[in-house]
Structure 1
Amino acid sequence: MNLQVAKNTVITLDYHVTNPDGEVVDEGRDPIIYLHGGYDDIFPKIEEALQGKTIGESVQVKLQPDEAFGEYDPELVQIEPRKDFPKELQVGMQFEGGPEDGGDDDFVIYRVTDIADDKVVLDGNHPLAGSALVFTCTVTAIRAASAEEVEHGHVHDADEDGETCH
């Protein structure tokens, strides 16, 4: 019996991502393994395109920025005093920060995009925010999800016991 991509199956995808001009944005060195069926493990439009596919089948999905990593938000760029950061600061380093208004669950990963004499520029946008992206995915494995995976809404690693589940 040939398994199909369906709700509550665990899907392994080989993938790569390009921009609309065909330049590679993410060569997909590691496969994506996700729980299919509306668990927000993968972009909804890709999940939709994969529904009903079998092993070896491929899809190509173009996502607009709002379907992928969101529009670029200039308000997520902050300039902070250099003295607030460790000595060995480099462009590309990442810091976790809370929102200015103190909401408790919206942590943002800020990337250092520039270091001037006494200022550091932090950008909380995803590096691909504002970009349209083309995902090419090939289904390489399908298996039924365990009851525990369905209950938790995500895939468990083979070596993960239920205790360490986040």
Structure 2
Amino acid sequence: MKIGLDTIVKVNISMKVKDGETPDIIKKPSSIEFIYGRDRVHPILEKALLGHEKDDSVQIDVPPEQAFGPYNPDLVNEVPIANLKHPERLKEGEFYHEPSGYGNDIAFTVKEICDDYVVADFNHPAAGKTITLDAKILDVRKASIMEIMAALNAARGAGGG
């Protein structure tokens, strides 16, 4: 069966930086399943998969603007070390992560460690870089009417009126 509107697609995706070192944060492959044309999937991925079948492999180059965004030098800031819960984990050139307690985690690349502060780069580690997606199609099948209705309801949002 070919991928098209209202087909359920299961795909394994791995990402890498096209020209350069791939940050650890995006190296781990992941599998996703979605209803083509109904679920929220990156448009570049959806377009590239159209017409393909189970066991096909697709490679897609995603420009920075449509991947992790352009690199923004304004997102490099000094953060007081005293404000961090685990300053012992700070290592120059590595990714630092801690839960904030407010639903959004604190995550940055450590550019430099000074006496009282750390120079933190809050850009995504792959910002400003073209990303290559390698997609392996694991399964394609026709979506049932119930699956399509569930996707349409999810797109409208849950809740009353």
Query: Would the TM-score normalized by the shorter structure come out above 0.5?
Result: yes
Q: By how many angstroms is 1:27 displaced? A: 4.6
RMSD of aligned C-alpha atoms? Answer: 3.0
- Higher helix residue share: 2
Residue 43 of structure 2 aligns with which residue? 44
Structure 2 partner of 1:71: 70
Q: Are positions 1:151 and 2:142 aligned together?
A: no
The separation in 2 between residues aligned to 1:80 and 1:135, in whole angstroms, is: 33
Alpha-carbon distance, 1:109 to partner: 5.2
- TM-score normalised by the chain length of structure 2: 0.70
Identity %: 26
Q: Do the aligned partners of residues 117 and 22 (structure 1) sit closer, same or farther apart at CA in structure 2, a change above 3 Å counting?
A: closer
For the residues of structure 1 that align with 2:61 and 2:86, how far apart are their CA atoms? 42
Asked whether the equivalents of residues 60 and 132 of structure 2 are also in contact (C-alpha less than 8 Å), the reply is yes
Deviation at 1:13, TM superposition (A): 1.2
Query: CA distance change for structure 1 residues 81 and 94 in 2, over 3 Å: closer, same or farther?
Result: same
1:85 aligns to what? 84
Query: 1:118/1:67 Cα in 2 relative to 1: closer, same or farther (>3 Å)?
Result: same
Give the whole-Å Cα distance in 2 for the aligned partners of 1:96 and 1:18.
26
The answer to whether the 8 A contact 1:9-1:36 is kept is: yes
Distance in 2 (CA, whole Å) between partners of 1:23 and 1:133 is: 11
Does the 8 A contact of 1:55 with 1:141 survive in 2? yes
Task: Point out where structure 1 has 5 or more consecutive residues left out of the alignment.
Answer: 98-106, 154-161
Aligned to 1:31: 31
